[in-house]
Chains A and B, each alone.
Chain A
């Protein structure tokens, strides 16, 4: 998959240099779609899904004394 992404990217640059603007942008958009797909596949975990449970931002509960005026 990564090889395909870099192949599309290199093709986009070479086509752009050769003056094939439309085809170059098409290759770049294909590269973008493949990259997004691979990124989502890489970060997906069967256990957690897309969540990041190692990030804990919950505040610790503290018992405050009751003010008696």
Chain B
């Protein structure tokens, strides 16, 4: 697409901010698990999966057109596919977190919100907020900049370095979560009572 670079740079900045927010949330979840001993429930882990899926879609969009990925998929298609994937996983996050919020909204024996509250809201409720913020972010992006498009090298080296750095950080975080899940669940069902392999 041949348009002025400013909207494309702003578009990429919005995507980068969304990726940064998701990476921050996933880091906070990992810190709560490792440092404060808050073992995640199965639905909490599925919410992490949905957030990682959004990250994957955002990374695909940020890379489309600037690397071999974009050329392999077709310059426009790489970005559109990334948008679609991110939207699907944002919806998945909303459905899972909405159901978990409703599951524990009435306190009764065996059912209470897992983990500690942040600003009065528990993690599943925060996940609903995050999913809605993601969907709103995509809607605003489409409203302001139109259909998803490729970067075409816009944004310069600084933005590119940020994208690369964040991508590697998210991959590392995902691998850490994989190890944590193996330690917590083994190859069986997950429980919040403790780590199966420790």
Residues of A within 8 A of B (CB): 1-3, 5-7, 9-10, 12-14, 16-17, 19, 21-22, 24-25, 28, 31-32, 35-36, 38-39, 42-43, 52, 54-55
B106 in contact with A55 (CB, 8 Å): yes
Number of A-B contacts (CB under 8 A): 96
> Which residues does chain B contribute within 8 Å of A9, judged by CB atoms?
49, 52-53, 174, 178
> Which residues does chain A contribute within 8 Å of B171, judged by CB atoms?
10, 13-14, 17
Shortest C-beta distance, B68 to chain A (Å), equals 5
B170 in contact with A13 (CB, 8 Å): yes
Q: Does B34 contact A (CB under 8 A)?
A: no
- The interface on chain B, measured as residues whose beta carbon lies within 8 A of the other chain's beta carbons, has a size of 46
A32 in contact with B89 (CB, 8 Å): yes
> Which residues does chain A contribute within 8 Å of B59, judged by CB atoms?
16
CA distance A6 to B184 in the complex (A): 12
> Which residues does chain B contribute within 8 Å of A10, judged by CB atoms?
171, 174-175, 178
> Which residues does chain A contribute within 8 Å of B95, judged by CB atoms?
39
- Interface stretch, picked from B1-9, B147-155, B185-193, is B185-193
